[in-house]
Structure 1
Amino acid sequence: MTVHTKGSGTTWVGRSIRRLEDPALVTGRGRFTADMPATHWVRFVRSGVAAGTIKNITAPEGASIVTAKDLAKLKPIRPMLSKFNYVAVGQPILADGVVRFTGESIAAVYAPSKDQAEDIADQIEVEISEGAPLIDAMDALAGDAPLVHADTKHNVIVEGRIATPGFEDVWKTAHKVLHVEARSHRQNATPMEARAGHAAYDGSTGRVTLTCTTQMPHLTRTAVCDILGIPESDLRVVAPDVGGGFGQKMSLAPEYVLLVWLARKLRSSVAWTEDRRENLIASFHSRDQHVQLEGAFDKSGKLLALRGDIVANIGAYSCFPTTCGVEPLMALAELPGPYDVRAYDCRSRGVMTNTCPMAPYRGVSRPVITFVLERLMDKAAAAFGIEPTELRRRNLIDKFPYTSATGLVFDDGSYKETMEMAIKAIDLDAFRKRQKTARDAGRYLGIGFATFSERTGYGSPAFAARGMEITPGFETVYLTIDPSGFVEARIGSSPHGQGLRTSLAQIIADEIGIDPEFIKVVHGDTDRSPYGWGTFASRSLVLSGGASLLAAQKIRAKLLKMASHFLEAAPEDITLQSGSAHVIGTDRSVTIASMARAAYHQTHIFKGEIEPGLTETGTYDPSGTFSNACHVAIVEVDIETGRVEMEKFLVAEDAGLIINPMIADGQVHGGVAQGIGNALLEEIIYDETGNILTSTLADFLPPTTREIPEIELHHVETLTGNSITKAKGLGEGGAIGAPAAVISAINDALSPFGISIDEMPATPQRIRAALRSSGKLPSNGKTA
C-alpha cells in the first residue's frame, strides 16, 4: 500500500531503497569510539565480590590511580521519580566505602597504553570485608533481609498498584480461574560493540569533547555536567557510529563521568574501551522478573478479570534517566496487552539486590508480560478444550479507539486481522495433521502463537504520567537547504543501526521533491544537533519523522512561494519534483538549487516578502500510537536431550505506514533473533555468593544463524491519526512477541507429557527436568 505525498511528483515513502548509511560501514570507513587515539588509557578496577566494605586499596609505586576520595566533590547519579513510592538512592562514580555488586568500579588507573593500564590494574590490591549478598529479588523481600542500601527502610525501591472499581465483584462471577507463575531470568543486551568513551580536553577553550557509545547524547551531556558542576557549554558529546545499543547504551554510565573529570584534571585526552567480560558483568542487565498472574474466565472463554503480582529485580542502583521504575511500571501499565479485559488488579515492585543494575533492553518488560499473558491464554484454551487461537479470537480487542483497564488509549489496530493472516499463512489445520503423524512416530512438534500490542512513538505526556523528574518526549529537527541546493537535516534523535537516516530522508524527499541521496542527516553531536532525547522506545521514526515532516512542510511552502516569483505563477499551481519546481501543465520550471542560491545570494529579488535563507524547524510531541503483531513459531523438541529445533517463524505485523519495507523487515528480523535468544539461550547466572558464572560468550550464549530459521513476514498497514506520518514504531516488536511464541510452541510440543515450561530461557536442562518430573517419559525415550 502506497500513500503519495500531496504536491510531490515522486514518491519515496513506501520504497525499499538501500540504506544511505551503509556504504561507509561496509567499506570500513565507519567511525567508532574505540578507533580514536588517546594520550592516556583508562582501566577500571572492579569488585570481585557482590557485597562488602572496602578496607584498603593498595597500588604499586608510581601508578596513576583514581579512587572515590579523589571524587569527593562530585554528586552521585541519582535519578528521580515523584510517584509510585519511589525511594531515591545514589550511585557513586566509584564505589565509596561500600561495594554493592560484582563488577562495580572501585578505582580507575590510567597509563599511556591499554596494555600498561591493564597491567597496572591487575596489580591493584583491594581489601574488602565481605557481607551477605542478596541475589534473588524474592529473598530481598523477606522481612529479615539485609539492606542493599543502609539508609533505606527496605529493599523495595518502587511500587505501583492498579485496581479497577468493583474488581472483586467481577472476580466472583468467574466460571474458571487459571494461574501462571512465571520466571524471566536476566539478560545482557550484548551489542556487537561494547561500551567505549573518549574524552579530549581543548586547552584553547577549556572544553571537553566526550565521544562515546550512547543513545542519548544530549542527556548524557546534561547529566555529566550536573554531576561535575560545570556549564553544559564546557562539554560536547558526540555519538559516532554505534555498533548496537538495544537500550544498554541509553542509561548514563558512571565511567563516562570519570573520563570527563579525568580529561579536565589532566588537560589531555583519555579513553576507555570495555572488554566483553566487563560488558557481561558490569554493563546494565535486564528483565529479571517473577510474575504471578491469574485470569478469570466466563463459560464462553471470555476473559473477565486479571490479577497480577510482579517482582522485578532492579539490581544495586537505579538507572539514569528512566529510573529503575521503567520495568515494573511498564509491566503494571501494559500487562493486559491486546485483550479486552475490564477488571484488573495488579501490584508491581522494583526490588534492590546485590546484582548489576538493570536498564531498558529492547522491548523492556513487554517480552516478559507477553510471555506470561500468552501462557495464561494457552492454559485457558486447554482448560476449555479449544484451539488456542480460538480463545484469543474471543478476547482480542476489535473496536477502536479502545481505552484499557489501565487508562491507555489504543488507536486503530488490527489485532484479530493479523492473527487471522498468520493462521492462514501458517496453515494451522495442515500443521495439526502433521503434528499428529509426527507424534505417532515419536517426534514432538509444536506450534505457538503470540499476539501483542506495542506502545510506540509516545512523547512527554506518557513519560510525565510516570512522575519522572526528567520527562523525555519531544523531538526537534532543523532542516536546511544550503546555497548548493543540498539538504541537511539535523536531528536530536541518535541512530545506532536502525536505518533512521534513510527513512527520514525518504520522508523529507517526498515533501520537497528532491532525491534522498541529496539529503544528509546529521545526528549524535550536541554542538550540531538540536536538543533531543535520543533513540529508545520505538520512537525515533514516529517522533523524528514527524518533526522532519513538519520542517519539510515549512521548507516546501517557502520553496513554492519563491518559485512563484521565478515562474510568475500562483504557488498552488506549482509542484515540486525531481529537484525542480514546475508549473503544472506547462514546461516552465526552476531548479531548487537555483532557488536555494537566490535565497542566500539574491535576497533582494524577493522584495522583502521572503526571509533570507532556507532553514526551518519542526518539533513534534505526540501522545503515542500502538503497533501490533502476531508471531508464530513451529519447533521440534528432542525429548532425549531437551534440544529445541526452530523449524519456522512467521510474523504478521502492523506498524502503520511502512516508510521503507526493507528497513522495516530488517528491524523485525533482528528483533525476532533476539527474542529467540531470550526464549532459548540467554541467561546471566549468579552463584550464591553473587559471582557471575556467565562472564564470557562461551557461557552466555547469544543466538547464531544456526538457531534462527527463515523468518516469513506479512504486513498490514493500518494508518493512524496519532502519527502525522501515519507510521507507527516497530523497533522492539520482534523481540516482544518471539519469546512467547517459541515457549508456547515448546509447551504445545510437550503437551502429551502434561508439563508446563513457564521459565525463560527454556534451556535443555529445564526441559529435561520438567520431562523427568512428569513421570511419563518412556523407557526408551522415543514414545509417550
Structure 2
Amino acid sequence: MTHPVTHPVTHPADTKGQLTGRSVPRREDPRLLTGRGRFVDDIALPGMLHAQFVRSTVAHGELASVDLTAVREVPGVVAAFTAADLDLTDITAELGRPRTEFVPTAMPVLARDRVRYVGEPVAIVVARDAYAAEDGLEAAKVRYTTLPPVTSEAEALAPGAPRVHEEAARNTLVDVSLFATEGIDEVFDAADCVVRVESRTGRQNALPLETRGAVAHWDDREEQLVLNTCTQVPHQVRTVASRCLRLDERAVRVVVPDMGGGFGQKCVVGREEIAAAAAALRLRRPVKWIEDRKDALSASFLAREQHYDVRAAFDADGHILGLDADVVCDMGAYSCYPFTAGIEPLMASAEMPGVYKVPAYRVRGRAVTTNKAPTAPYRGVSRPQYVMVMERLFERAARELGLDAVEIRRRNVITEFPYTGVNNITYDPGSYLESLDLCERLVKDEGWYEKRAAAAAEGRYLGIGYSCFSERTGYGSTAFAQRKMQVVPGFDISEVRMDTSGALTVTSGTMSHGQSHETTLAQIAADELGLELRKVKLHQGDTDRITYGYGTFASRSVTIGGSAVRLAAAKLGEKLCRIAAALWECDPGEVELTRGGVRRADGSVLTYEELADVAYLRAHLLPRDIEPGLSATATFDVFNDGTFSNATHAVVVELHQGTGQVEILRYVCVEDCGVAINPQVVEGQCRGGIAQGIAGALFEQVTYDAQGEPSATSFMDYKVPTAHEIPDVLIHHLETPCTFNETGAKGAGEGGTIGAPAAVLNAVNDALRPTGIELDHTPITPETVHRALNLESSNLEPSI
C-alpha cells in the first residue's frame, strides 16, 4: 500500500539517506545513559525549600480539626498550610452529559471538610530540607470523625450504602447505555450457542520509574510562577494551576525536564503539584516536592479495577451474532482532570467489539466511586480488560462448538475496510486476519503444538493462548467530542525554525516520557527538508515556548504530533523554495528541495545556509511578498474516528504443579502500526507494553482491607515482575499505512499492554484444560493455579 501525500510535494529529490523506516540511534541516549539527563529531582535552586504532605490515615471521615502548631515548631520547618490557609479553588473535571448520566466531583487541592481515601493530602509542610519536612509530618495532629468506608464495587452499589459524595446516588458517577441494538434479546433467544464471561481485574499502579514531583518558584522579572514538573500534559497543568491560584494563565509557566516514565498516571493534573506551586507563590521561595515510593504506590492515581459481565451469541458455525455487556469500573474517590471518571467505562462501552464483526450490541457502562485513591488513565485504558473478556468469549464458544480457537477468530475478524461497526466507529484498513494467520504459523513452525502434546503425555501442563485486537490511536477532536468532554483534546501544533547555520528547531505539543520523540519527530522533519538528523533539535514541554498542546496519551504523538511537524516542515520548505526562486529570478515551479538546499532545473544549488543568510541578514534582497526569517507553524487534527493499529499475540506457558508458578516459555507478537518511523523504537514500545501486560496478568494488584487501608505500600507487597519473569519476545512487523495523516504511522504506545493479559490468561486456561477449571480473573496468582492443579490431581470437586 502507498501513503498519499496530502500537502504540496516539497520532498528532497535526492532520497538517499531517507531516515523514516530506519532504526537510527536514539538522540536521547548519550545524555541519559551517561547520567547527564535532568529530571525534576535534579533541579536545585538558591534558597529552595522542600515539601511533603500530611495525608489522611482514614479512608472516610469528617475532618474535625487539623492542628499544625507543633509542626511549625519542628527545627527546619519554615511553614505549614491547610486548605484554609491557601484558599485554592477546586480541581473539577466535567462531562457535558445529562446529570442522570454523569455526576461531577470537585477535588480540593487539600482536603477541607472530608477525607475520602487513605493518603489524601490534608496539609503541606515546607522545610529547609527533605528530612525536616518528614519530621514535620509526624508532629501534625489531625482529628477525624470516621465514617463507614466504601471499599468495593458491591458495597458502593448496595442499597443504603454510605455515600462517598453526597451528590452521587448509589455512589455512581457515570451510568451510560451507549448502544442497544433493536431486537437483541431475540438474537440471543435464537442463537445456537450463548456463552458468558464474568471477569474482574485487579487495581494497579502504572509505576513509572520516576515518581511524581514538582519544583516551583516565582520569577519577579517575568511576574510569573514557574512550575517544573514531570507531566505528560504541561498545558493542562498550566490551565488548572492558573485557575486554582487565581492567576492569569500568562502568569504560569510549566516546564517539563527529562521524565522517567508516565504511562498515563502523569497525563492528569495532580493535587500535590498545585499545592507546591501555591506554597512557592505564598513564600516567594522555590519549593520542591518529590513523591516517595510509599505515597506513589498507595496515594497516587491508580487504575484498572473493573468488573465485566458479558454474554455473546453465536451460530452453529461459530459466527458471532450479538454481544451484551455490563461494565462497572471502580474509579476511586474523585474524577481526574481532564478525563473524568468516564474515561474507563466510556472507553470500554464504545470499543468493546474490537476487531470482530459484531452485528448486534448492547452495553451499559458505569463508574462507581469508592474510598480508594482516584483512578487515572493507565496504558491501554480499559482495552486490556475488554480485550481479555472478548478473547475469553471466543475461547469458550470454540470449546462449546467444537471449533479450533484460532479458527473461530478467523471466521469473525474484520477483513473488508473501511468497516463501520455496530458501535458506529469506522475502522481504517488493518491486517487483522494477516496478523492472526502469521502469529499462528510462527507458533506452529517452532513446534509448540507438538511440545504441548508431549508435555501432556508426561503429566505436565503446557498451554498456548492467543489474543487478537486493535488499538485505536490518534484520537482527534471529533472522537473526543463524542464523549461529550468539556475539555476536548485532539489537535497538535508544531513550529519549525531554521537559523543562519541551516539548523532546525522543532516544537511539538506532545510530551515524551520515554517514547523517543527527540529522535522520531526529528526523523520526520529531517526527511521533509533533506537535513542530517544532527541538524534537527526538538523542543517540548515548555508552555512558554510551545504555543499549545494536549500532551502525550492515547498513542497520539507520531500520528498527530508527527503530522503537525511534517506539515510545518513542508511549509518551511515551500518558503525556502520561494526565496531561492526569487534570488534566481525564476518561477518557483522550476526549483525543488534537495539534500541540504534548493536545486534549480539546471543543477544549480543554494544551500540552506545561503538562503538563511538572505532571510535573516540580507532581507532587503527579498521581494515584499516574502517576510524575513525562516519559520512556519502548522496544526493537525483528525476529523474521523482515528486510526487503528492491530496485533495478534501468542503465549506459551507451563504451569508448575508444586508451586503454582506460571512460567512463560514463549511470547510471539505480530504487530501492525502502519509506517514505523523508527522500528527499534516501535519494538521497544512493544516489549515494554508486554512487560506491563504480563505484570497485570500475573503479578500486580493493590487491594484494600475492610477499613479502606491499602495493602501495597512497598515493593515487599506490590509484586513487580523482574527481567527473570519477562520472556524474550519475538516481534514481526506488518505495515498497513494510515491513509489520512501525514506520516502513514499509527500509534504504537499501548498495544503490548492491551494484548498481553488476554494471551496469558488464555494460555493458562489451555494448560488447565485437563482439570475442567477455567479462570477469568486477573491477576492469576500462584495460589489459584496451585489449587486448580491439585484439585484435578486429587479428583476433588472444582470450586474455583
TM-score under structure 1 normalisation? 0.97
Give the match for residue 720 of structure 1: 738
Give the match for residue 609 of structure 2: 593
Q: Deviation digits for residues 34-86 of structure 1, max 9, x if unmatched?
A: 111252111101111111122222331525211122133x2211100012611
SS at match of 2:511: coil
| Separation of aligned partners in 2, 1:2 and 1:765 | 51
Range with bigger deviation, 350-359 or 249-258? 249-258
SS at match of 2:353: coil
1:36 pairs with one of 33, 38, 43: 43
1:151 pairs with one of 159, 162, 167: 167
| Separation of aligned partners in 1, 2:429 and 2:795 | 53
Give the match for residue 505 of structure 1: 522
Give the match for residue 194 of structure 2: 177
Residue 141 of structure 2 corresponds to residue 125 of structure 1:
yes
Q: Deviation digits for residues 408-438 of structure 1, max 9, x if unmatched?
A: 1100111001111111112179322221110
Alignment of 1:320-399 (within 5 A): 320-399=337-416
Give the match for residue 669 of structure 2: 651
Give the match for residue 73 of structure 2: 62
1:258 pairs with one of 271, 275, 294: 275
Report the Cα offset of residue 564 of structure 1.
2.4
Q: Deviation digits for residues 460-499 of structure 1, max 9, x if unmatched?
A: 1111111111111100001111122110111111111101
Q: How many residues align?
A: 776
1:50 pairs with one of 44, 59, 65: 59
Report the Cα offset of residue 583 of structure 1.
3.2
SS at match of 1:154: helix
Give the match for residue 702 of structure 1: 720
Give the match for residue 613 of structure 1: 629
Q: Quick check: 1:177–1:297 contact (8 Å CA) kept in 2?
A: yes
| Separation of aligned partners in 2, 1:243 and 1:599 | 39
Unaligned runs of 5+ in 1: none
Report the Cα offset of residue 523 of structure 1.
0.4
| Separation of aligned partners in 1, 2:599 and 2:222 | 49
| Separation of aligned partners in 2, 1:508 and 1:165 | 50
Q: Quick check: 1:177–1:294 contact (8 Å CA) kept in 2?
A: yes
Alignment of 1:263-274 (within 5 A): 263-274=280-291
| Separation of aligned partners in 1, 2:114 and 2:502 | 59
Give the match for residue 751 of structure 2: 733
Give the match for residue 82 of structure 1: 96
2:247 pairs with one of 230, 242, 263: 230
Q: Deviation digits for residues 195-216 of structure 1, max 9, x if unmatched?
A: 0001011233331100001100
Report the Cα offset of residue 778 of structure 1.
4.1
Give the match for residue 217 of structure 1: 234
| Separation of aligned partners in 2, 1:379 and 1:683 | 26
Alignment of 1:500-579 (within 5 A): 500-567=517-584, 570-579=587-596
Residue 761 of structure 2 corresponds to residue 756 of structure 1:
no
| Separation of aligned partners in 2, 1:566 and 1:592 | 13
Q: Quick check: 1:377–1:392 contact (8 Å CA) kept in 2?
A: yes
Q: Quick check: 2:771–2:788 contact (8 Å CA) kept in 1?
A: no
Q: Quick check: 2:529–2:595 contact (8 Å CA) kept in 1?
A: no
1:319 pairs with one of 310, 323, 336: 336
Q: Deviation digits for residues 725-767 of structure 1, max 9, x if unmatched?
A: 1111010011000111111111111111011111111111222
TM-score under structure 2 normalisation? 0.95
1:309 pairs with one of 326, 333, 342: 326
SS at match of 1:461: helix
Give the match for residue 680 of structure 1: 698
SS at match of 1:616: strand
Q: Deviation digits for residues 558-598 of structure 1, max 9, x if unmatched?
A: 112222234555444434333122335x5421211111121
| Separation of aligned partners in 2, 1:143 and 1:125 | 35
SS at match of 2:250: helix
| Separation of aligned partners in 1, 2:163 and 2:784 | 32
SS at match of 2:550: coil
Give the match for residue 34 of structure 2: 27
SS at match of 1:172: helix
Residue 645 of structure 2 corresponds to residue 627 of structure 1:
yes
Q: Quick check: 2:398–2:404 contact (8 Å CA) kept in 1?
A: yes
| Separation of aligned partners in 1, 2:413 and 2:509 | 37
Report the Cα offset of residue 667 of structure 1.
0.8
Range with bigger deviation, 563-572 or 169-178? 563-572
| Separation of aligned partners in 1, 2:39 and 2:509 | 19
User: Identity across aligned pairs (percent)?
Assistant: 43
Give the match for residue 14 of structure 1: 21
Q: Quick check: 2:156–2:370 contact (8 Å CA) kept in 1?
A: yes
Q: Quick check: 2:651–2:759 contact (8 Å CA) kept in 1?
A: yes
| Separation of aligned partners in 2, 1:194 and 1:549 | 33
| Separation of aligned partners in 2, 1:50 and 1:200 | 33
| Separation of aligned partners in 1, 2:551 and 2:65 | 40
SS at match of 1:158: strand
Return the letter of the residue paired with 2:73. G
Return the letter of the residue paired with 2:509. G
| Separation of aligned partners in 1, 2:313 and 2:235 | 46
Return the letter of the residue paired with 2:83. A
Q: Deviation digits for residues 485-525 of structure 1, max 9, x if unmatched?
A: 11011111111110122111111111111112101110000
Q: Quick check: 1:293–1:307 contact (8 Å CA) kept in 2?
A: yes
Q: Deviation digits for residues 232-282 of structure 1, max 9, x if unmatched?
A: 111100011010010001111111111111111111111100000000011
Return the letter of the residue paired with 1:66. F
SS at match of 2:313: strand
